[in-house]
């Protein structure tokens, strides 16, 4: 194959400029601004400010409330990622085998994807509502008093359920197309070697799905960390109370609801660093074990 | 919603176009009144625009109270602020602390030659949005106060009268209602009803610096034996089936009352209209009970809700327009319309008298309870409170109160945490002003 080359270094830079400008304006500049304001306590209107050094950070490490949110976010992310990937993979493998009416099954399974997170949250609130929720009533018939918004873990369970439900279709679509990309010849060869469907899945299908899985893992972690905001907001009804909160939601609560720009900037810087570490770990250690065809 | 938005946008565009042709002064008003309340705000603004030909006011709905304040702050920093913004009670310290962001209404109205007399305003309304010298900074707009609604059918069935004291509730009313098959009591806002107005009702000091009005180096005095005893009573009542807690959400606590499961519910005087539309039982309202053990001379409560602030950075002509709207807003006609349509209390004595003359309270006695409670004897600490980062302080209260009522924390532990975290927040707020 012939290598294409540019005659002059200026031209590729020119081509990159629009993208770099967008990143600079919408990412680097606000990020730098967040780092700067995390060292201040500032009147939201911009009239007064005090330099407080690392106070906004040390305060976080001393706050049991913040540590609770951090712990909850970790548990939440792990559970949401695990269940939404696991269930989607199971559904995709099963749907892949369906011959009659395959399209209908697939469409039905993808349907939920079209629902916006706040709407998903709202549906969750209706299902789990204290007095009228369907799921609450079902649980009550088993003798369990489910109390959304009062009991910490009940609220957490509702958040996780709704978040998983909302994310399954995305994963399903990717897993299904991943499965369909596995060459028929490979599957047939495996079929001759091994009669057991389960071991064929783990030996052949799963490794060949790994690139898709890795991509989805990153997407799902990002989803759990950030995109569940709308679900959390609707389930807690905008009132943090004694409800479980994710780190992103806390940034919003302190910064936007409370007008504490310094404190919330410090939290978003911490979040930025966490995501950076996570990304490095994922690419350095996990991706090495994955083979792209 | 979309249709409404389109219509109001079209209307606004029409008004703007008309305004440009006649060289009228156009000003903008950002508010947080959605749904039915938003319609009433639009009506109010339309009436104002129709009442004169010099100024055109455009209302813009900006979401929740918090979103509206945040939008106004961001706009102010970008030099694009609206002429008028609605700011809620807990956000008052932020906007009043930022001197230079707003023009005190008292000054605005005097400069415009409209005339202003603070004595025209109802007692419990007068000083909540004022500075330490008593100068009114924000114009009280949708003002409400917590009152006790009761299901009259349920009380008749149990053979009791609405309680005037908490002792009476604990010994007589509560048990009778429980035995009649009701949950006797619920409430919708623990920080507002059982904290801020608890202090006011019993004339107890809520914070240093005259409840925070006289400076920013304020310390909260929430960890008071009277309120600790009150929350211990709530825990006991919950165990005895006299009180139920449905979480921090307002509606979660109001719904069981409207469904007829809860017999007495503490909510906002502004909830009146909505309840009247939805319930099919006889209901009425009365003033908040008090603890006889704490005081024998209970005092008034103060207002919650929100106020309108005139933002700075506009020329004289636009400020005149803002003043003209405030003048219209405080007129008897506008206040009576606002009060009878929404259930919020009228902010002037004249409007209260006019509503009474029209027979509004003969028809709906419960609509008067909020005003009666605001007109109870005042005390040293009944004017309100002014504390920065108060939204977060309320969040801390909500969290700890929930922990008390779910048995995760004792009353003493929770109040120590509230006191410590609130004081840390106040200290941080003081630094933002420095």
Q: How far is A10 from chain B (nearest CA, A)?
A: 36
Can you tell me which residue has the tokens 């706040």? A118
Q: Closest partner residue to B431 among A44, A50, A242, by Cβ? A: A50
Measure the CA–CA gap between A269 and A274, rounded to whole angstroms: 9
Asked if the C-beta of B423 comes within 8 angstroms of chain A's C-beta atoms, the answer is no
For residue B94, the chain A residues in CB contact (below 8 A) are 44-45, 259
Q: Is B384 left (phi over 0), alpha (psi -120 to 50) or beta?
A: left
The mean of the pLDDT values for chain A is 88
Can you tell me which residue has the tokens 């997407």? A219
- Quick check: A259 and B434 CB within 8 A? no
Q: How far is A244 from chain B (nearest CA, A)?
A: 10
Q: Token digits for A96?
A: 């892949």
* pLDDT greater than 50 at residue B17: no
Task: Mutation target for B interface from A30, A64, A239, A266: give the one with most B CBs within 10 A.
Answer: A239
- Quick check: B247 and A147 CB within 8 A? yes
For residue A152, the chain B residues in CB contact (below 8 A) are 406, 408
Please, what are the domains in chain B? Answer: 2-144+304-363 (3.40.190.10), 146-301+388-432 (3.40.190.10)
For residue B256, the chain A residues in CB contact (below 8 A) are 131
Residue B183, Cβ density class (10 Å: 0-12 exposed, 13-18 middle, ≥19 buried): buried
- pLDDT digit string (tens) for B298-336? 999 998 899 999 999 999 999 999 999 999 999 999 999
- Quick check: B392 and A131 CB within 8 A? no
* ipTM for this prediction: 0.86
- Quick check: A47 and B249 CB within 8 A? no
- Quick check: A49 and B406 CB within 8 A? no
* pLDDT greater than 80 at residue A15: yes
Report the greatest alpha carbon distance in chain A. 76
**Pairs of CB atoms within 8 A across A/B:** 122
Q: Token digits for B352?
A: 């209260």
Look at residues B359, B325, B329, B361 and name the one whose alpha carbon lies nearest to residue B347. B329
* pLDDT greater than 70 at residue A287: yes
Number of H helices, E strands in chain A: 14, 2
Asked if the C-beta of B389 comes within 8 angstroms of chain A's C-beta atoms, the answer is yes
**Residue A187 banded pLDDT, cuts 50, 70, 90:** confident
Q: How far is B428 from chain A (nearest CA, A)?
A: 7
A124-131: long-range pairs with CB below 8 Å, 24+: A124/A158, A124/A159, A124/A161, A124/A162, A124/A231, A124/A234, A124/A235, A125/A234, A125/A235, A125/A237, A128/A154, A128/A158, A128/A235, A130/B246, A130/B247, A130/B252, A131/B252, A131/B255, A131/B256, A131/B259
* pLDDT greater than 90 at residue A117: no
Q: Closest partner residue to B389 among A151, A241, A260, by Cβ? A: A260
- pLDDT digit string (tens) for B340-394? 888 899 999 999 999 999 999 998 888 899 999 999 999 999 999 999 999 999 9
Task: Mutation target for A interface from B90, B188, B248: give the one with most A CBs within 10 A.
Answer: B248
Query: What does the pLDDT read at residue B20?
Result: 46
- pLDDT digit string (tens) for B226-251? 999 999 999 999 999 999 999 998 98
- Residue B388 in 3-state DSSP? coil
For residue B67, the chain A residues in CB contact (below 8 A) are 256
Q: How far is A34 from chain B (nearest CA, A)?
A: 15
Which backbone phi and psi does B207 adopt, to 5 degrees? Answer: -155, 160
Q: How far is A125 from chain B (nearest CA, A)?
A: 11
* Residues in A lying within 8 Å of B, measured between beta carbons: 41-50, 52, 59, 65, 130-131, 147-152, 236-243, 253-254, 256-260, 262-263
* pLDDT greater than 80 at residue A288: no
Sequence-distant (≥ 6) Cβ neighbours of residue B358 within 8 angstroms: B336, B340
For residue A42, the chain B residues in CB contact (below 8 A) are 432
- pLDDT digit string (tens) for B99-150? 889 999 999 999 999 889 999 999 888 889 998 888 999 999 999 999 999 9
Could you give the residue ranges of the DSSP H alpha helices within A98-151?
102-110, 117-128, 134-141
Closest chain A residue to the Cα of B396, Cα to Cα: A241
- Quick check: B248 and A242 CB within 8 A? yes
- pLDDT digit string (tens) for A38-82? 999 988 888 888 899 999 999 999 888 899 999 999 999 999 999
For residue B246, the chain A residues in CB contact (below 8 A) are 130, 147, 149-150
* pLDDT greater than 90 at residue B186: yes
Go through B367-379 and write b for each residue having 16 or more CB atoms within 10 A of its CB, e for each that does not.
bbbbbbbbbbebb
- Quick check: B406 and A150 CB within 8 A? yes
Asked if the C-beta of B91 comes within 8 angstroms of chain A's C-beta atoms, the answer is yes
Measure the CA–CA gap between A229 and A223, rounded to whole angstroms: 9
Asked if the C-beta of B310 comes within 8 angstroms of chain A's C-beta atoms, the answer is no
Query: What does the pLDDT read at residue B132?
Result: 85
Asked if the C-beta of B282 comes within 8 angstroms of chain A's C-beta atoms, the answer is no
Q: Token digits for A190?
A: 């495996």
At the second CATH level, the architecture of A53-289 is Orthogonal Bundle (1.10)
Query: How many CA within 13 A on the CB side of residue B404?
Result: 31
For residue B434, the chain A residues in CB contact (below 8 A) are 41, 48-50
- Residue B298 in 3-state DSSP? coil
């Amino acid at each position: 194959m012939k290598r294409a080359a540019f005659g002059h270094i200026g031209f590729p830079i020119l081509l990159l400029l629009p993208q770099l400008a967008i990143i600079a304006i919408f990412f680097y500049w606000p990020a730098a601004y967040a780092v700067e304001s995390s060292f201040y306590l500032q009147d939201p209107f911009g009239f007064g400010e005090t330099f407080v050094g690392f106070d906004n950070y040390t305060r976080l490490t001393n706050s049991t409330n913040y540590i609770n949110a951090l712990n909850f976010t970790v548990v939440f992310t792990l559970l949401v990622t695990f269940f939404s990937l696991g269930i989607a993979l199971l559904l995709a493998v099963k749907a892949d085998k369906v011959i009659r009416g395959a399209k209908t099954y697939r469409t039905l399974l993808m349907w939920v994807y079209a629902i916006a997170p706040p709407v998903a949250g709202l549906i969750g609130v209706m299902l789990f509502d204290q007095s009228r929720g369907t799921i609450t009533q079902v649980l009550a018939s088993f003798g369990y008093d489910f109390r959304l918004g009062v009991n910490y873990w009940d609220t957490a369970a509702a958040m996780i359920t709704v978040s998983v439900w909302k994310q399954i279709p995305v994963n399903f679509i990717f897993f299904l197309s991943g499965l369909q990309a596995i060459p028929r010849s490979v599957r047939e060869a495996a079929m001759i070697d091994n009669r057991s469907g389960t071991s064929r899945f783990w030996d052949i299908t799963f490794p060949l799905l790994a690139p898709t899985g890795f991509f989805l893992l990153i997407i799902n972690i990002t989803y759990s960390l950030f995109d569940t905001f709308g679900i959390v907001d609707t389930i807690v009804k905008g009132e943090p109370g004694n409800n479980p909160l994710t780190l992103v939601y806390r940034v919003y609560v302190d910064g936007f609801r409370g007008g504490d720009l310094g404190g919330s900037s410090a939290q978003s810087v911490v979040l930025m660093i966490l995501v950076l570490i996570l990304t490095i770990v994922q690419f350095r250690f996990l991706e090495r074990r994955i083979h792209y065809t | 919603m979309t249709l409404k938005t389109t219509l109001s946008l079209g209307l606004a565009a029409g008004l703007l176009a008309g305004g440009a042709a006649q060289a009228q002064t156009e000003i903008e008003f950002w508010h947080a009144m959605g749904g039915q309340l938003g319609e009433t705000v639009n009506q109010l603004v339309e009436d104002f625009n129709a009442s004169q030909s010099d100024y055109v006011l455009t209302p813009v709905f900006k979401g929740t109270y918090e979103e509206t304040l945040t939008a106004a702050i961001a706009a102010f920093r970008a030099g694009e602020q609206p002429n008028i913004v609605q700011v809620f009670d807990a956000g008052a310290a932020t906007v009043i602390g930022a001197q230079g962001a707003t023009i005190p209404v008292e000054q605005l109205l005097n400069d415009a030659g409209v005339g202003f007399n603070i004595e025209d305003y109802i007692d419990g309304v007068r000083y909540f949005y004022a500075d330490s010298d008593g100068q009114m900074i924000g114009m009280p707009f949708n003002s409400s106060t917590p009152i006790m609604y009761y299901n009259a059918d349920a009380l008749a069935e149990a053979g009791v009268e609405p309680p005037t004291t908490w002792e009476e509730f604990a010994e007589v009313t509560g048990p009778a209602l429980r035995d009649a098959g009701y949950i006797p009591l619920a409430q919708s806002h623990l920080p507002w009803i059982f904290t801020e107005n608890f202090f006011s009702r019993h004339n107890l000091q809520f914070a240093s610096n005259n409840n925070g009005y006289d400076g920013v180096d304020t310390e909260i005095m929430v960890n008071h034996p009277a309120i600790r005893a009150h929350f211990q009573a709530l825990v006991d009542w919950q165990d005895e089936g006299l009180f139920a807690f449905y979480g921090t959400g307002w509606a979660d606590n109001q719904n069981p009352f409207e469904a007829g499961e809860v017999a007495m519910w503490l909510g906002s005087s502004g909830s009146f209209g909505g309840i009247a539309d939805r319930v099919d039982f006889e209901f009425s309202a009365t003033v908040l009970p008090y603890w006889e053990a704490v005081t024998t001379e209970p005092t008034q409560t103060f207002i919650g809700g929100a106020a309108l602030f005139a933002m700075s950075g506009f020329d004289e002509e636009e400020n005149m327009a803002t003043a003209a709207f405030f003048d219209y807003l405080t007129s008897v006609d506008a206040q009576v319309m606002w009060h009878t349509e929404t259930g919020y209390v009228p902010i002037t004595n004249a409007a209260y008298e006019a509503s009474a003359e029209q027979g509004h309270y003969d028809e709906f006695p419960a609509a008067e309870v909020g005003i009666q409670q605001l007109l109870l004897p005042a005390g040293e600490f009944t004017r309100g409170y002014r504390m920065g980062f108060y939204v977060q302080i309320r969040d801390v209260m909500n969290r700890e109160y929930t922990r008390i009522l779910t048995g995760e924390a004792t009353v003493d532990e929770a109040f120590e945490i509230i006191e410590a975290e609130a004081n840390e927040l106040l200290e941080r707020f003081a630094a933002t002003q420095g």
